[in-house]
Amino acid sequence: MTNAPEAVFRDALTRAIESAWDLAPTEIPLTYPPNAELGDLASPVCFELARTLKRSPREIAAAIADAFRAGDGIERVEVAGAGYLNAFLDRDVFLREKLSGATAPAAPDARKIIVEHTNINPNKAAHIGHLRNAVLGDTLVRFLRRIGRDVEVQNYIDDTGVQVADLVVGFQQIRGEGLAQILERYSEEALRERGQRFDYLAWDLYAEVTQWYADDDARLTHRAACLEAMERGDNETAEIAAHVSRRMVQHHLETMDRIGARYDVLPRESDILRLDFWKHAFERLKSSSAIHLTERGKNAGCWVMDLADAEAGAGEDQKVIVRSNGTVTYVGKDIAYQMWKFGLLGKDFHYDAFDWSPRRELYSLWSTCSDGRDENPRSFGGATRVYNVIDTRQSYLQRVVQQGLRSLGHDAQADRSIHYAYEMVALTPAAVAAMFPDHPLSEEDRGRAYLEMSGRKGLGVKADDLLDTLIERARSEIAKRNPELDASEIDEMARRIAVGAVRYYMLRYTRNRVVAFDLDAALAFEGETGPYLQYSVVRARNILGKVEQAFGPESVAAGELGRDVSLAALPPGTVAEHWNLVLQFLRVDAVVAQAVETLELSTVAKHAYTLAQAFNSFYHRYRVAQEENASIRRARTAIVRLYHDGMLELLELLGIEVPTRM
C-alpha cells in the first residue's frame, strides 16, 4: 500500500538529500507546480539548502536528482526553474489504489475533542448569522472525525440571560399572559391553526419589547425583576422562562437539522447555576487569587479579574466577574463551563433525554439537568481540546475566559481552548431596503458596504425563510427540467439542492471576511455554488449508468477497474487532463488536514469546486459510454467512477448531499 503522495515524496527526498549531501534536512517544504507538465509535486527545498551549502540551488538540485531512486509510486524527479525539484508520480499505481480503496484510513485518536457551536439565545428564531456559525461548526466536526478524532458536539443554551428575560417580560407585561395562557394560546395546535410558529412570534415580540423599553426607561425594572425571579426559581416567571426557552431550542434544533447539523448534548446555563458549578469555580478563582474584591472606584463591591496588558483597553484593566449585587456575569459562568469541558471542575451535570414535546422528536439527544435522574450511557465533558465556534465580536471575552484558566494554573488547557473566530454575517443596504421597507436608512447607512443585523430591532433574515425560498426555487428549476417527476420526488431533491446552496455559500468565504448577505448570490444555483458541485456528480452518475447499461455491472465497478486500468491506453495528448482529476483527489487529505490546522474550512470547499470545474471540462471534451475503443473507454470510466465516488465523499464532508437527478 502506498501512502499519500506528499509523504512518499518527502521520504524519498530525505533519502536522496542524505546520500547526495550527507545531511539530514529537518523539514522538506512542498508545493504544487503551476502546471501539470512540470510535475505532480514540487519542492523548493534547494533554495533553503543553498544558504547552508553555499552552492547554487540548481547545482544542489541536480545532485539530489542524480541520487534519487525511483520507486514507491514516484516515477522520476526533474530539476526545473531556478532549482525546483519536481516529482512525477506513477500514475497507474495511484489511480488503481484509489479505485481499490486501498488508501490508509486516518489513524484513530481516542482523546476527546469538544466542539461547541450554534449557541443561539433561546428567545427568537435562528437567522443567517446563526446559520454561518452552525455550518462552520458542523463542518469542523466532520473534518475532525474524518482525520480520526473523537468529537463531542455541544450546543450551549443560555436560558437564564437577559434576552430570555426580555421575551418573558413581553409575554407577561405587554401581552398580559401567564403560564396558563401561554400553554393554551401557543400550543402547537393553536399555532398551526393560526398559521404561526413560536420562534417567529418570539422574533416579533422581542423587537416589540425593545421598543417598549425605549418608550419608557422605567419599564426596565420589569427586566430586573424578571431576572431576579428566574434566578430565584420556584415561581411562575421562572417556569415561563424555562418553557419558552425549551420551545425555542426545539425550533433551533429543527432548523439546524434541516441543514444536517446535530448535537450530542445541550449544556444549560441554568444547570450551571443550580448545580453550583459557579460557586465551585468561584472558590478556586478566589483561592488562587485569580480574582479579587475591589473596594473603591467604579468597580467597588465587585469581584474582578486583572487583565494582562494585551487585553487591557484604554480605560479598562479589569473585568468584572461578580457584580456588586453578588450575581455572576456571563464570563464567570463561562469560566466554570470551560473548566467542566476539560474535566477540571471536579463536578458533573446530571443528564436527561431532551424533551422534544410537543414537537416531534428528530433524534435522541441529551440535555443537562439539575436533579439526579441519570440514565445517560456515556459521559460528557472531560476533553483534551476544545473548539468554541463564536463570532469575532466575542474575541475579547474569549480571551478573558482563557486567562481565567491560565490564572488557575491550567496553561495547557488554556492553550487547547481554541476560539474558532469568524466574522459576522451582515446585510447589504440594498437587502435591508428590499426586505425592510419600514426600516429607516440614513444617507450614511446607504453608503456603507453592509449593516449589522439586530435581533433587538428584528432586523435580519430568518434561516428558515432563506431555506424555504431556496427550496421553492429549486423545486421550480427541477420541474422545468424534469416535467415527468411528481411533487413528492421533487421534494427531496429540492431540499438537497437548497441545503447544498446554503452550506456552500456559508463555506466559500474565508472566516475573517464579513459576509455581506446578498440575496441573489445566496439564491444562485449557477457558477461557484453548491448545486454546481452536485450537478457534476449527477452527470458522473448518468455516465456510469449509460456504461453499465451497455457493458454490464462489472464495467463500472471500482474494484474491477482498479485491478488493471491504465491511463497509458489514452491518446497521449489527453492523459494529463485525465490524470489531473486523480491527482486532485489524492490531495484531499492534505487539504483537509491543513483546513483543520488553520481553521480555514473554505479551502476544502474551494478544492471541491476546482475539481468540479475540471470534471465539467472533461465531460464536455470526452465521450465515455460512446467511446468505441474498449481500453480508452475503460480508462475514462475509471476516471468517472473515481470522480463520482470521490466527490460524493468530499461533499459529505461539507455536509452536502447529492440529489439523484437535477
Residues 461-500 that bind RNA (CB under 7 A): 474, 477-478, 481, 493, 497
Helix (H), strand (E) at residue 515 = strand 515-517
For RNA, the closer CB: 135 or 182: 135
Does 158 contact RNA by CB under 7 A? yes
Which candidate, 592, 586, 653, 642, places its Cα nearest to that of 615?
Answer: 642
- Find the binder of RNA among 330, 356, 436, 551 (CB under 7 A): 330
Smallest distance from the beta carbon of 142 to RNA, in angstroms? 19
* Residues in 575-594 that interact with RNA by CB under 7 A: 594
Peptide bond into 358 cis (omega under 30): yes
Smallest distance from the beta carbon of 379 to RNA, in angstroms? 25
For RNA, the closer CB: 562 or 659: 659
Does 292 contact RNA by CB under 7 A? no
DSSP, collapsed to helix, strand or coil, labels residue 89 as strand
Which region among 58-66, 129-137, 154-162, 577-585 touches RNA (by CB under 7 A)? 154-162
Q: What CA–CA distance (Å, rounded) separates 227 from 92? A: 68
Smallest distance from the beta carbon of 372 to RNA, in angstroms? 27
* Residues in 125-144 that interact with RNA by CB under 7 A: none
- Find the binder of RNA among 20, 67, 93, 162 (CB under 7 A): 162
Does 301 contact RNA by CB under 7 A? yes
- For residue 254, report the phi and psi dihedrals to the nearest 5 degrees: -65, -45
Which residue type sits at 575?
A: V
Does 512 contact RNA by CB under 7 A? yes
- Residue 244: which residues within 8 A CB-CB, separation 6 or more? 122, 123, 164, 167, 168, 171, 182, 202
Q: What does the per-residue mask of binding to RNA show for 443-462, with x meaning CB under 7 A? A: -----xx--x----------
- Find the binder of RNA among 67, 397, 557, 648 (CB under 7 A): 397
- Find the binder of RNA among 5, 73, 161, 260 (CB under 7 A): 161
- Find the binder of RNA among 7, 21, 25, 32 (CB under 7 A): 32
- Find the binder of RNA among 600, 632, 648, 657 (CB under 7 A): 600
Does 325 contact RNA by CB under 7 A? yes
- Find the binder of RNA among 196, 357, 598, 629 (CB under 7 A): 598
Smallest distance from the beta carbon of 605 to RNA, in angstroms? 9
Does 509 contact RNA by CB under 7 A? yes
Instruction: With beta carbons less than 8 A apart as the criterion, state whether 559 and 100 touch.
Output: yes
Q: Which three cell numbers stand for residue 79?
A: 530539476
Does 306 contact RNA by CB under 7 A? no
Which candidate, 639, 603, 579, 593, places its Cα nearest to that of 39?
Answer: 579
Q: Which three cell numbers stand for residue 121?
A: 439565545
Which region among 364-372, 543-551, 563-571, 648-656 touches RNA (by CB under 7 A)? 543-551
Which candidate, 76, 208, 130, places its Cα nearest to that of 502?
Answer: 130
- Find the binder of RNA among 67, 80, 569, 596 (CB under 7 A): 80
- Find the binder of RNA among 215, 526, 564, 628 (CB under 7 A): 526
- Find the binder of RNA among 232, 373, 446, 513 (CB under 7 A): 513
For RNA, the closer CB: 521 or 648: 521
Q: What CA–CA distance (Å, rounded) separates 558 from 554? A: 9
End-to-end alpha carbon distance in the chain = 38
Does 82 contact RNA by CB under 7 A? yes
Instruction: With beta carbons less than 8 A apart as the criterion, state whether 60 and 74 touch.
Output: no
Q: Which three cell numbers stand for residue 82?
A: 531556478
Instruction: With beta carbons less than 8 A apart as the criterion, state whether 392 and 512 touch.
Output: yes
- Residue 300: which residues within 8 A CB-CB, separation 6 or more? 294, 324
Q: How many CA atoms lie within 13 A of 24 on its CB side?
A: 1
Instruction: With beta carbons less than 8 A apart as the criterion, state whether 463 and 487 touch.
Output: no
Q: How far is CA 113 from the centre of its chain?
A: 15
Which residue type sits at 623?
A: R
Q: What CA–CA distance (Å, rounded) separates 425 from 446? A: 17
Smallest distance from the beta carbon of 184 to RNA, in angstroms? 30
Size of the site for RNA (CB under 7 A): 103
* Residues in 409-438 that interact with RNA by CB under 7 A: 423-424
Does 100 contact RNA by CB under 7 A? no
For RNA, the closer CB: 208 or 577: 577
Which residue type sits at 205?
A: L
- Find the binder of RNA among 535, 579, 585, 643 (CB under 7 A): 535
Q: What CA–CA distance (Å, rounded) separates 59 from 39? A: 19
Tally helices (H) and strands (E) across the chain: 27, 16
- Find the binder of RNA among 197, 416, 457, 661 (CB under 7 A): 661
Which candidate, 334, 346, 425, places its Cα nearest to that of 386?
Answer: 334
Smallest distance from the beta carbon of 406 to RNA, in angstroms? 16
- Find the binder of RNA among 192, 393, 446, 563 (CB under 7 A): 393
Smallest distance from the beta carbon of 420 to RNA, in angstroms? 13
Does 17 contact RNA by CB under 7 A? no
Q: What CA–CA distance (Å, rounded) separates 301 from 283? A: 17
For RNA, the closer CB: 48 or 264: 48
Does 231 contact RNA by CB under 7 A? no
Does 525 contact RNA by CB under 7 A? yes
Does 25 contact RNA by CB under 7 A? no
- Residue 411: which residues within 8 A CB-CB, separation 6 or more? 405
- Find the binder of RNA among 4, 7, 485, 538 (CB under 7 A): 538
Q: What CA–CA distance (Å, rounded) separates 535 from 541? A: 10
The DSSP 8-state label assigned to residue 218 in this structure reads: G
Does 149 contact RNA by CB under 7 A? no
